[in-house]
Amino acid sequence: MPTATILAKLDLAADRTFTTDISAYLVDPQDLGVDGLGREGDMDAAGPSRCQVLVDNADGRFSTKNSGSPYYPNLKPGILIRVQVPWNAVTYDYFLGIVTEIEVLPMPGDKLARLTCIDMMAVLAATDTRLAAMESQYTGVIIDRLLDGAEGELVNNPRFESDLTGYSAIGGASAPVRVTAGDLLHLPAAMTIAVSNASASGWRYDITSKTAAGQKVTAAAYVRAEADADVGKTVVARIADNGGVRATSSVITLTASYQRVAVSGTFDGASTARYVDVVTDAAQGVFTFRTGASHAVAAVAAIPRAVDSGVATIERAYYPRTPALAAIQEIRDNELGGLFFIEPAGVATFQDRSHRFREAHSRTSQATIAEKFKAISYRESLDDRPSEVRFYYTRWDVGAQATVFSLAPAPRAIPANGSLTVEIDYGGGLVRNTVVPVANTHWKANSLPDGTGSDDSGSLTFTFQDFGGAAEAKFTNSLSRSVYLTMLDVIGTPVRPASDDVLAIATPTTPPPLSNPLVHTYPLQTSEPHVQSWADYHAKRHGDTQREQMSIVIDAPWPDAATGTLMAQVLGLDIGDRITISDTTFPFGSKVNGDYYVDSISRRVVAEQGGGRRAEATLQMSPADLDYWILDTGKLDDSAGVDNARLAI
């Protein structure tokens, strides 16, 4: 009979290798509870999941102030922990997250320590990111760029804001060209390069000054075909140094939209020059591809991800300094049916609105649970039936060029041999065609606060970064006395949401007897067909049909469980999986007999009455959509399905 075991490892080396195995110190019995994975219901956002691990501290190794501990001084809040459960020759990921609290229970009757942990959603919530303006891009690409921003950056010039410093051609390619027209991933520019009819032809970016010999790096670039004739050509990303190529990505086939190509590799320990390349993987004629942004980060800080490209495009997205998770969840919401969460393996996962109808784990049932559950809760509520759906969305108002920011109050002192950074907020709007401020025209510096002294602008170094929704101006003073910034104006074209309300309305064919409007605002969504179709779907699926709220508890003996038990489902079901539930035997049963999507999962090991232990999982679920017509996989009215509530949108 297969026996389940618990593997718990700490990342004390802070390199994501998880080499510190603490499995032998896990207290038995161990609750091993993980709560909050996923979301409560259909339109909700997922939150962080939490876990507590109880360990034996008889030898003091988990006492953070014990200098005699083999874990000292690296054991402290902020380290990563990974928990896995091997059973029946499969190792199931159970939890990966950050230890937020270490509680030492030092009394002789205890000799324990408790590790309180939260998954990487909490890290994203606590990490600020800043996204330069993007226009007409798919939601998945925007989420990828927000995740990039949360990782940090080794590339000094990731989006070609003012030039192509750091980029060069290799393999016979023509010199890269900075372009300001066409599909720009980020305003105001992108980069194109014409490759030769050879393998390894493309662009190279030098990151020698930002990396060390022997360092492992993850790099990425966002690429697309420049013209229709270039669609279907293939490229790869590489990690390279003066000694050669150290790692190569999988092959990316260029399309008319940006795709992320990523690679991880370790530079040679004796390298003196280190690079990121995006090049052809084979000779395939002369063609041109466009790069919208590049990115590199120390591999230890890279966020594993599984990001769908998205169905919806966002006309304009831009973020000043914003918690990464808040920005990601807003993009997810404006996908209209997207879901973002962190998997138990620590993978940042974005599922777009079509994921359920495209991917096998959501399109076909992954398990059938026919009255084997430990508990079932079934409820129908009138509150779940909308009498009307009102979804507000956005139109943009593009103004004329004007002064969009003026420094107030002024003057501002720039200290001797110091610097002043002015964080510029455009008040929630976007500014296009920003004019880089010029000394004595848009900004002035003086030796006296009232501006009556000498002009000191020549003694300042000025840098300006524009992010579309915000900007940053930095002044560095080379003098041994203070200088006063008496004026700073920024000029550009303001783009703001229109003042009128724009909404899509849908009414159920058979509305409920009580007024219960479903109202939501999508501030980044501008597509009337998308929003109207989304409203029609909710009116049909929720207004005309009573949708139940259902959860079940499934369990299996712990730790010894035969293969005929539900242990594989307890440990292995994922968010978004489609499962079949049947509860039809008893007259007092729910009479459920159909398919459901898993929205949230909580797992733990619990004591049985009379002794023994069981592993159990509580699954919150929503009814599966009946059918859906998928382009290129079916036809109208076939068994693959068309539900009149929801055609492809």
Residue 452: pLDDT band (50, 70, 90) is very high
Residue 83, domain member (yes or no): yes
Is the same domain home to 90 and 16? yes
Note whether 371 and 434 are same-domain residues.
no
Q: Which of 32, 630, 632 is nearest to 643 (CA)?
A: 630
DSSP state string for 27-60: -SS----EEEEE-SSTTPPPB--EEEEEEE-TTS
Residues 250 and 158 in one domain: yes
Q: Does 136 share its domain with 114?
A: no
Residues 150 and 43 in one domain: no
Same structural domain for residues 153 and 220?
yes
Measured CA to CA in angstroms, residue 547 lies from 380, 417, 588, 594 at distances of 7, 66, 20, 13
**Cα separation of 157 and 76, whole Å?**
35
The answer as to whether 426 is a domain residue is: yes
**What does pTM read for this prediction?**
0.90
Give the range among 282-291, 484-493, 609-618 with minimum mean pLDDT.
609-618
pLDDT of residue 627: 57
CA separation for the pair 1, 22 (Å, rounded):
25
Query: pLDDT tens across 553-605, in order?
Result: 999 999 999 999 999 999 999 999 999 999 999 899 899 999 999 999 999 99
Does residue 78 sit in the same domain as residue 146? no
* Most confident of the following: 11-15, 21-25, 43-47, 523-527: 21-25
Is position 327 within any domain?
A: no
Is the confidence at residue 477, as pLDDT, over 70?
yes
CA 248, 254, 255, 256 dihedral sign is positive
* One-character DSSP codes across 191-241: EEEEEPSSTT-EEEEE-GGG--TT-EEEEEEEEEESSGGGTT-EEEEEEEE
Domain extent, residue 483, equals: 398-497
Same domain, residue pair 140 and 281:
yes
3-state secondary structure at position 324 = helix
DSSP string, 522-591: -TT---HHHHHHHHHHHIIIIISSPPPEEEEEEEEEESB--TTSSHHHHHH--TT-EEEEEE-SSTTS--
Q: Do both 223 and 280 map to the same domain?
A: yes
Q: Say which CATH number the domain at 158 has.
A: 2.60.120.260
Residue 630 lies in a domain: yes
- Residue 634 resides in a domain: yes
The backbone torsions φ and ψ at residue 327, rounded to the nearest 5 degrees and listed phi first, read -65, -45
Question: Span 533-553, mean pLDDT?
Answer: 91
Residue 646 pLDDT grade (very low, low, confident, very high; cuts 50, 70, 90): very low
In a domain? residue 312: no
The verdict on residue 543 lying in a domain is no
| Residue scoring higher pLDDT (498 or 156) | 156
What percentage of the chain's residues is helix, strand, coil (to nearest 5)? Answer: 10, 45, 45
Beta strands 339-342 and 234-241 are: unpaired
Cβ atoms of residues 596 and 621 within 8 Å:
yes
pLDDT of residue 6 exceeding 50, the answer is yes
Say yes or no: 133 and 162 in one domain: yes
CB–CB of 352/309 below 8 Å? yes
What tens digit of pLDDT does each residue of 282-334 get?
999 999 999 999 999 999 999 999 999 999 999 999 998 899 999 999 999 99
Range with the lowest mean pLDDT among 196-210, 461-475, 633-647?
Answer: 633-647
d(CA 553, CA 613): 15
Do 170 and 89 reside in the same domain of the chain?
Answer: no
Residue 316: φ, ψ to 5°: -145, 125
Residue 350: phi, psi to the nearest 5? Answer: -120, 120
Q: Name residue, tokens 């390894």.
A: 200
pLDDT number for residue 641: 41
Closest by Cα among 61, 49, 67 to 10: 61
Beta strands in 430-548 (DSSP E): 430-435, 443-446, 460-466, 470-477, 483-497, 502-506, 518-521
pLDDT confidence tier of residue 436, bands split at 50, 70 and 90? very high
Question: What total of structural domains would you count in the chain?
Answer: 4
Final residue in a domain of this structure, among 497, 514, 535: 497
Tell me, yes or no, whether 31 and 163 share the same domain: no
Q: What mean pLDDT do residues 387-404 have?
A: 93
Task: Tell me if 144 is assigned to some domain.
Answer: yes
Domain end, chosen from 72, 94, 119, is at 119
Provide the pLDDT confidence category of residue 40 given band limits of 50, 70 and 90.
Answer: confident
Percent residues over pLDDT 70 in the chain = 96
Domain boundary among the residues 73, 101, 119 is at 119
CA distance 312 to 316: 12
d(CA 94, CA 91): 9
| pLDDT score recorded for residue 640 | 45
The pLDDT tens digits of the residues spanning 86-120 come to 999 999 999 999 999 999 998 888 899 999 999 99
